[in-house]
Structure 1
């Protein structure tokens, strides 16, 4: 009878070894699969869209909106804007055609997705201008910078106001330094500019 209990214990020990090997193999597969999934998710997160990229990096990468050397830029023409100007002496209006220059077709598609909000922002900007502001070269250049800023605002991109004067040196009011944000709109072009 001594041999019967020994024989019964031998298969039990071999079964435990097999069970341990199977459990270890399953754990190893789960860990490898989880690690691979984590690596794929990390690679996808910044590339998913502008919101994910902005949250991960706080600013779009400079190469994301820059056109490749040798390729022409992409232009997004907007329908002409006709607005009443803010002149108080006499009723004046402006008809202005605007075309946005962007780096590539993908960026142009993103701009087109936000076009109603972009047009609204530009109309609001134009309606607060006077004819005296728009008739000078400096006024047109300032308007182009403001249109550039307003055209990317619906996409959640806040550009610094280049025309804003820095606070006097005697004041202790310090602004937090933000990393510069690159605009997907590289240039604002006027196709028509009529002030009457």
Structure 2
């Protein structure tokens, strides 16, 4: 009689292993099918042609403006600038980190060759600013334009100062200056890595 209960215990163990294998196989099958479905859903839809033969846009968000060239931009960091500001009532100074973004790596090397003259020009621009000018967003944007203009000047590139005002109509006329040809700056952007005004 003792052998009968042992036989009963052996039968459920074998069936339990089979059930476990079937459950694991079902889970693996569900994971594979779910992954495949997710891949199909996340895959970009191809551009479809409309009835008139023109390509219809997909519902995907529009891409941002494409860069001008195939290679990424080159960044030329300048050593941080510490300069006394032009405030008259109180002594104030600024510590500003500047990085120049350029499209052409060859031009980045040229900037490095002219670095002492570029740093001098940027220091002159900074020393003529007041704390009030530098603390506003518009002041920082104006400073970035000034730095862009002064950073290419040592290489013989003259950018037009956009902030120069036209003389009033009733003002005495001076000699007409020749209009400068619009030159595109090889420095595409001036980035600030730190900006402290005290």
Normalised-by-shorter TM-score class? 0.5 to 0.7
Secondary structure of the corresponding residue to residue 138 of structure 1: helix
Displacement, 1:187?
0.8
- Residue 77 of structure 2 contacts residue 99 of structure 2 at CA under 8 Å; is this kept in 1? yes
Q: In the aligned structure 2, how far is the partner of 1:106 from the partner of 1:135?
A: 34
Q: In the aligned structure 1, how far is the partner of 2:184 from the partner of 2:73?
A: 16
Partner of 2:19: none
Displacement, 1:74?
0.5
Partner of 1:193: 195
Partner of 2:138: 138
- Residue 160 of structure 2 contacts residue 180 of structure 2 at CA under 8 Å; is this kept in 1? no
Q: In the aligned structure 1, how far is the partner of 2:197 from the partner of 2:149?
A: 22
Q: In the aligned structure 2, how far is the partner of 1:68 from the partner of 1:137?
A: 27
Can you list the C-alpha shifts for 1:69-94, whole angstroms capped at 9, x where unaligned?
33211010001000111111111110
Displacement, 1:181?
1.2
Matched, 1:177 2:179: yes
Can you list the C-alpha shifts for 1:8-51, whole angstroms capped at 9, x where unaligned?
xxxxxxxxxxxxxxxxxxxxxxxxxxxxxxxxxxxxxxxxxxxx
Unaligned runs of 5+ in 1: 1-66
Moved over 4 A (4+): 170-173
Q: CA RMSD in A?
A: 1.5
Rg larger for: 2
1:1-196 alignment runs, 5 A limit? 68-170=68-170, 172-173=173-174, 174-196=176-198
Q: In the aligned structure 2, how far is the partner of 1:114 from the partner of 1:144?
A: 19
TM-score for the superposition, normalised by structure 2: 0.62
Q: In the aligned structure 1, how far is the partner of 2:89 from the partner of 2:79?
A: 29
Q: In the aligned structure 2, how far is the partner of 1:86 from the partner of 1:179?
A: 33
TM-score for the superposition, normalised by structure 1: 0.63
